C-alpha cells in the first residue's frame, strides 16, 4: 500500500485485528457461546440447585415472571420439582462435550480421507467417493437409529453416530480443496524434490486447508447440538440421570399440557446456542474463506 504503512510495521496486536477485521464481529453470539462454555465448565458452582434435586412440593412452578412463579426457581420447575435453569446449565455440558468430540472425530477422519482422495486421485479417489455416496444414501437419522439399536445408547454412541454421519461432509469439501492445491507449483516442486508424502501432507496441504476446516467445524456446531438433542429426545442418546436438553424436552413432552415452560426453555437454550454458533460461523467464513459462501 502507501509508504507510511511500510515505514511503521504494524504491531502484533493490530496485525491480528487486521487479519480478522474486528468490524462486524457478532459480539452477542460470542457472549452467548462464552456463557455456554462457562456453564459447561463451572456448572456445578453456578447452578442455583442440584439438577437432579427432586422436590415434589415445588413441582410445576412456572417461571418467575408468570403468575405463581417463585424467585427461587427463575425458569420454573418440572414435574418432579427439579429446577429447570439448573438442568439447562447441567445440560450445556453434554452439548459442549458432544460438539467438541464429535466435531474433532468427524473432522479429522473426514479431512484425512478427503486429503487422500484429492491428493492421490485415481482408484483411491473413486473408492472414497463411492463410500461418501453410500454414506449419504442412508438418511442420517436412520443410520443413527440402526447404530443406536446395535450399540448401547449413551454419550459415546452419540459421538460415534455423529462422527460417522458427518465425516463425508468434510471429506467432500476437503477433497475439492486439495484437488486445486495439488496443482500449485510448490506442491509439485516438493514432490519432484523427493519430499515424502507425509511431509507434503503436513507442511503443504494441512496449513492450507486449516481455514476451511475451522469454518466447517464452526458451522457444524449448531447441527451437532440439534442432532444430539434429537437422538436424546428419541431416547437413543443421553440417558437418565445424565441431563441433556433433548432429554429434558422428551420428559416435558409427557406433561406438555401442564407446563409450557418445560417445553419452551430447553428449546430456547438449543435455539440460542445454534443461532450464535451459526452467526459466528458465517462471520468466520466471510473473514477466512469467502469462496465458501454457498455452504
- CA distances to 64, 98, 142 from 250, in Å: 23, 18, 19
Identity of the residue, 47 or 144, whose beta carbon is nearer to other proteins in the bound complex: 144
- φ, ψ (nearest 5 deg) of residue 263: -85, -40
Closest CA to 108 of 178, 176, 174: 174
Selected from 33, 99, 274, 284, the binder of other proteins by CB under 8 A is 274
Which of 124, 141, 195, 206: binder of other proteins (CB under 8 A)?
141
How far, in Å, CA of 209 to CA of 198, rounded?
A: 15
Let me know: does 240 contact 247? Beta carbons within 8 Å.
yes
Of the candidate residues 26, 51, 91, 222, the single one contacting other proteins (CB under 8 A): 222
In the list 36, 75, 147, 247, the residue contacting other proteins (rule: CB under 8 A) is 147
CA gap 234, 10 in Å, rounded = 54
CB nearer to other proteins: pick between 200 and 215: 215
- Judged by CB under 8 A, the stretch of 9-17, 168-176, 189-197, 231-239 that binds other proteins is 231-239
Question: Grid coordinates in use for 143?
Answer: 443410520
> Cα separations (Å) of 252 from 60, 94, 162, 233, 264?
11, 18, 25, 10, 9
Closest approach of Cβ 19 to other proteins, in Å? 26
Nearer to other proteins, 110 or 187 (CB): 110
Query: To the nearest whole angstrom, how small is the minimum distance from the Cβ of residue 22 to other proteins?
Result: 22
Q: Which is nearer to other proteins, 38 or 151 (CB)?
A: 151
Q: What is the 8-class DSSP label of residue 71?
A: T
Nearer to other proteins, 124 or 131 (CB): 131
5 or 291, CB closer to other proteins?
291
Q: Rounded to whole angstroms, how far apart are CA atoms 289 and 217?
A: 13
Comparison of 54 and 143: residue with beta carbon closer to other proteins? 143
Query: Residue count at the site for other proteins (CB under 8 A)?
Result: 44
Residue 36's alpha-carbon distances to 96, 135, 206, 218, 277, in angstroms, are: 8, 32, 30, 15, 11
Residues numbered 32-91 forming contacts with other proteins, rule: CB under 8 A? none
Among 53, 195, 278, 288, the residue binding other proteins under the rule CB under 8 A is: 278
Burial (CB count within 10 angstroms: exposed 0-12, middle 13-18, buried 19+), residue 206: middle
Q: Give dist(CA 210, CA 218) in Å, integer.
A: 12
Q: Counting contacts by CB under 8 A, is residue 137 touching other proteins?
A: yes
Interacting residues with other proteins (CB under 8 A)? 130-131, 133-135, 137-143, 145-151, 222, 226, 229-230, 233-236, 246, 249, 252-253, 256-257, 260, 263-264, 267, 270-272, 274-275, 278-279
Amino acid at each position: 500500500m502507501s509508504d507510511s504503512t511500510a515505514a511503521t510495521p504494524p504491531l502484533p496486536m493490530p496485525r491480528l485485528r487486521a487479519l480478522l477485521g474486528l468490524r462486524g464481529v457478532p459480539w452477542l453470539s460470542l457472549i452467548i457461546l462464552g456463557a455456554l462454555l462457562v456453564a459447561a465448565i463451572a456448572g456445578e458452582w453456578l447452578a442455583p440447585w442440584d439438577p437432579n434435586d427432586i422436590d415434589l412440593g415445588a413441582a410445576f412452578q412456572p417461571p418467575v415472571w408468570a403468575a405463581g412463579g417463585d424467585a427461587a426457581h427463575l425458569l420454573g420447575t418440572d414435574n418432579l420439582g427439579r429446577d429447570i435453569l439448573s438442568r439447562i446449565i447441567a445440560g450445556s455440558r453434554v452439548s459442549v462435550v458432544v460438539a467438541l468430540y464429535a466435531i474433532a472425530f468427524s473432522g479429522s477422519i473426514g479431512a484425512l480421507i478427503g486429503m487422500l482422495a484429492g491428493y492421490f486421485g485415481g482408484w483411491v479417489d473413486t473408492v472414497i467417493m463411492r463410500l461418501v455416496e453410500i454414506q449419504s444414501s442412508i438418511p442420517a437419522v436412520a443410520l443413527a437409529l440402526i447404530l443406536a439399536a446395535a450399540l448401547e445408547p449413551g454419550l459415546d454412541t452419540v459421538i460415534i453416530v455423529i462422527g460417522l454421519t458427518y465425516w463425508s461432509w468434510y471429506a467432500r469439501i476437503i477433497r475439492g480443496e486439495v484437488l486445486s492445491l495439488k496443482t500449485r507449483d510448490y506442491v509439485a516442486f516438493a514432490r519432484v524434490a523427493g519430499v515424502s508424502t507425509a511431509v507434503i501432507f503436513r507442511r503443504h496441504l494441512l496449513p492450507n486447508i486449516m481455514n476451511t476446516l475451522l469454518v466447517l467445524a464452526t458451522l457444524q456446531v449448531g447441527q451437532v447440538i440439534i442432532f444430539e438433542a434429537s437422538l436424546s429426545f428419541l431416547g437413543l442418546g443421553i440417558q437418565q440421570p445424565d441431563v441433556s436438553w433433548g432429554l429434558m424436552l422428551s420428559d416435558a413432552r409427557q406433561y406438555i399440557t401442564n407446563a409450557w415452560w418445560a417445553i419452551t426453555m430447553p428449546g430456547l437454550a438449543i435455539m440460542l446456542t445454534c443461532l450464535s454458533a451459526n452467526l459466528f460461523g458465517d462471520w468466520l467464513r466471510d473473514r477466512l474463506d469467502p469462496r465458501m459462501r454457498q455452504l
